[in-house]
């Protein structure tokens, strides 16, 4: 292996220690950062994600509230629950685990979360703030990618960054964050002609598609930084990314593993966003 492994698990662990220290400081000023997670239905993968988020928030000393609603909950009932949490001063971050059952409009749900408690960074107000370079809650996965690069000493400024995937939660906001860091950004997607021609020009390549082995050694430039967001199962049921790790690691300069790369950073950034939201409460609660 010639590439340097970017150890997302370790970087996320360090971030969580820093967050826990800041939570303690807030506790001394009578603020306990609170995260409310809403889980609708019985989706096993969603349950696992929600458990991981809850566990991580408790470990850093946050108050974590899990609201479980059945598959048959009406859209109106869900919206009312969110509005209640918007007004709850013990809750600084609200997260609705996606996907939602088909009878519920995800966009309506996201737009009902107060932008000031939208720690997932999916609300159009936060996306707009990100696009216009304002302070915002950044979506956790793109934010995690950026923090991971900075912690590794990689500065995106002036770099050619190619993002494969243009979803609202990963691809598009990742590109915007890189643009804000003065990178030159190219987006690729399912209609891109000649993917390799683009990816081979990348100094930093972000693969966020959801297809195992989409990115091979032939897709990358020697020495490139490879960020693998994908989470897939290979034929033997093992978790893997979008990048053919075993061959790409001998050509890349830096590479993230799956698991242990972007995934742990995503959860750490959720905690960071919740902390950021709670810090704002300092201005409304008198200190001891």
Least spacing, CB of residue 163 vs ligand NDP, in Å:
9
Least spacing, CB of residue 260 vs ligand NDP, in Å:
10
| Three-state DSSP class for residue 129 | helix
Cα separation, 159 vs 202, in Å, equals 8
53 labelled catalytic? yes
Complex with ligand NDP: residue 26 or 206, whichever CB lies closer: 206
Complex with ligand NDP: residue 145 or 278, whichever CB lies closer: 145
Catalytic residue, from 81, 97, 118, 242: name it.
Answer: 97
Q: In what order do the strands lie in the sheet with 204-207?
A: 4-5, 254-255, 225-228, 204-207, 160-164, 184-188
Angle between helices 8-28 and 262-280 (to 10 degrees): 20
Angle at 137 between CA 131 and CA 138, to 5 degrees: 60
| Three-state DSSP class for residue 207 | strand
Least spacing, CB of residue 222 vs ligand NDP, in Å:
22
| Residue the block writes with tokens 């370790």 | 10
Least spacing, CB of residue 223 vs ligand NDP, in Å:
23
- Give Cα separations from 168 to 135, 151, 174, 268 (angstroms): 19, 25, 9, 20
Least spacing, CB of residue 234 vs ligand NDP, in Å:
12
Residues in CB range of 128: below 8 A, 6 or more apart: none
At 38, which helix (H) or strand (E)?
A: strand 34-40
Complex with ligand NDP: residue 175 or 263, whichever CB lies closer: 263
Least spacing, CB of residue 70 vs ligand NDP, in Å:
25
Cα separation, 202 vs 188, in Å, equals 12
Where does this chain bind ligand NDP (CB under 6 A)? 141, 164-167, 169-171, 188-192, 195, 208-211, 229-232, 262-263, 266
Complex with ligand NDP: residue 170 or 281, whichever CB lies closer: 170
Cα separation, 249 vs 126, in Å, equals 35
Complex with ligand NDP: residue 65 or 192, whichever CB lies closer: 192
Complex with ligand NDP: residue 26 or 273, whichever CB lies closer: 273
DSSP state of 216: -
For the annotated catalytic residues, the residue numbers are 53, 97, 120
């Amino acid at each position: 292996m010639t590439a340097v492994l970017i150890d997302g698990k370790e970087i996320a662990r360090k971030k969580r220690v820093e967050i826990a220290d800041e939570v303690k400081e807030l506790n001394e000023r009578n603020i306990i950062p609170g995260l409310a997670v809403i889980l609708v239905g019985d989706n096993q993968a969603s349950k696992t994600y929600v458990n991981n988020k809850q566990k991580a928030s408790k470990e850093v000393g946050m108050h974590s509230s899990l609201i479980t609603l059945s598959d048959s909950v009406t859209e109106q009932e869900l919206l009312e629950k969110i509005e209640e949490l918007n007004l709850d001063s013990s809750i600084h971050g609200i997260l609705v685990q996606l996907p939602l059952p088909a009878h519920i409009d995800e966009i309506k749900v996201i737009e009902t979360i107060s932008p000031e408690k939208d720690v997932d960074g999916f609300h159009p107000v936060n996306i707009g703030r990100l696009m216009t370079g304002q302070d915002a809650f950044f979506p956790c996965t793109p934010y995690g990618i950026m923090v991971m690069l900075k912690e590794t000493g990689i500065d995106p400024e002036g770099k050619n960054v190619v993002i494969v995937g243009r979803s609202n939660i990963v691809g598009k906001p990742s590109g915007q964050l890189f643009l804000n860091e003065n990178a030159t950004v190219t987006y690729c997607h399912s209609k891109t002609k000649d993917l390799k021609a683009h990816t081979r020009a990348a100094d930093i390549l972000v693969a966020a598609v959801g297809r195992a082995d989409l990115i091979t050694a032939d897709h990358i430039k020697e020495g490139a930084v490879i960020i693998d967001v994908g989470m897939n199962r290979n034929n033997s049921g093992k978790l893997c990314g979008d990048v053919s790790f075993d061959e790409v690691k001998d050509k890349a300069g830096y590479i993230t593993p799956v698991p242990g790369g972007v995934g742990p950073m995503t959860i750490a950034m959720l905690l960071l966003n919740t902390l950021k939201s709670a810090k704002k409460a300092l201005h409304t609660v008198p200190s001891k």
